[in-house]
A = this chain, B = another copy of it.
Amino acid sequence: MPHDQCPNCAAPDLAFAAHDHAPCAADALARAEAILAEKGLRLTPVRRRTLEILLEGHRALGAYDLLTRLAAEGFGAQPPVAYRALDFLEEHGLAHRIRRLNAFTACMHMGEAHFAAFLICRACHAISEAPAAPARSALDTAANAQGFTIETATIEALGLCPACQEVPA
């Protein structure tokens, strides 16, 4: 299964595991550049910086938090600046919207065809992408039973990551 390997870190999905994050982020950025180059699309300064900021951690960032960062660095200070960069990244598979949080997170499987499910830790707010193909096909089955055709699905789970389970409230 392609999802056993994290393409960025050459290890299993490890948002929840301690890991050397610098190469994790750097590789994702390089991968993004390659993907966009191939499609003839431009990773402009705002877009690149947006992606870098999202890649700072395995968490989700709200559009206005991002905007604050961008504005502080000399980019435009109005909401569309942030939303446009985020929409662009999402549209090309470099970032995902986390609907539960009204926020965005960098994609950890750029360039792979994947149905992602998101695991959101309610304690430390870390987010991991989990392989959702099995869940998705179960969902397709349920939808077919009603004659419904799924075009896109949102699968998000809230709970506790391994580290936070060990530290009870």
How many copies of this chain? Answer: 2
* Interface residues as binary, A141-163 with B (CB distance below 8 Å gives 1, 0 otherwise): 11101111111111111111110
Chain B residues lying within 8 Å of A130, measured Cβ to Cβ, are: 139, 142-143, 145-146, 148
Alpha-carbon distance between A12 and B146 when the two chains are bound, in angstroms:
9
| Least distance between A41 CB and chain B CB atoms (Å) | 25
Stretch among A27-35, A63-71, A77-85, A114-122 lining the B interface = A114-122
Chain B residues lying within 8 Å of A156, measured Cβ to Cβ, are: 99, 153-154
Cβ of A151 and Cβ of B160 under 8 Å apart?
A: yes
Contacts known (A99-B99, A119-B148); A157 close to B131, Cβ less than 8 A: no
Q: Is A100 an interface residue (CB 8 A)?
A: yes
Q: Is A75 an interface residue (CB 8 A)?
A: no
Cβ of B99 and Cβ of A154 under 8 Å apart?
A: yes
Alpha-carbon distance between A132 and B156 when the two chains are bound, in angstroms:
13
Chain B residues lying within 8 Å of A119, measured Cβ to Cβ, are: 143, 146, 148, 150
